[in-house]
Amino acid sequence: HESPMLSLDKTKERESLRGFIGDQKTLLSWKMDGLTIVLTYREGKLEKAVTRGNGVIGEVVTNNAKVFDNIPLQIPYQDELVLRGEAIITYSDFEKINSQIEDVDAKYKNPRNLCSGSVRQLNNEITAKRHVRFYAFGLVKAEGIDFHNSKQNQMEWLRAQGFDIVEYQVVTEDTMDDAIDYFSQKVQNNDFPSDGLVALYDDIAYGESLGRTAKFPRNAFAFKWADEM
């Protein structure tokens, strides 16, 4: 990976999250529970897809990523683009696939395990039948584009390139509670697994200036549902 993919520091307490947000405009989005994938495009074509792996080195899964339900194989942007996102399988597809497996011991425990197995298939025809979906949550590299120092602008640019992006809301410490209430009500009926929310500073330069600890980046923070830690 171009830069190490670190875990996020996390909390279940709203006040800890409020302390993280402080006076910063912040993007609050789903923390999807699937498999993180890094995509590289060159000359508008998907060139490489790699799993998160240990954060430094991942598995190459390009052939399988090409058959994900919603990954664009061709995009308008022609220079090198590197982005990160989550590969997931919906609960409804998970239940449908599991119901077709007769051996009880061979059934998958949850959508995440099924997604992980599907993304690593040696035969991408099997992957194609599993209806893996990809939701972008972060841009790593897109030279020559001015995002006006805004993560939100990066997300909307990725959307314009044809990617499905993770649902997010822009919050401040004052509007954070309404957004958490919205997400925590919606999660109960979502068709995809989520184990919490991710808070990310909109101000790119400020976020980068904070650096990281040995384990965590300082520009992002995870808020876990009460029963998920």
Q: Estimate the crossing angle of helix 91-99 against helix 111-119, to 10 degrees.
A: 80
CA–CA separation, 22 vs 117, rounded Å? Answer: 40
- Reduced to 3 states (helix: H, G, I; strand: E, B; else coil), residue 17 is helix
* Closest-CA residue to 61 (of 46, 49, 45): 49
Q: Judge whether 223 and 196 are in contact, CB under 8 Å.
A: yes
Closest C-alpha among 125, 53, 59, 130 to residue 93: 130
Residues taking part in catalysis:
31
Q: In terms of DSSP bridges, do strands 26-32 and 168-171 run parallel, antiparallel, or are they unpaired?
A: antiparallel
Which residues are CB-neighbours of 101 under 8 A, at least 6 positions away? 107, 108
**Pair of tokens at residue 76:** 């308008």
Contact 126, 118 (CB under 8 A): yes
Largest CA distance in the chain: 54
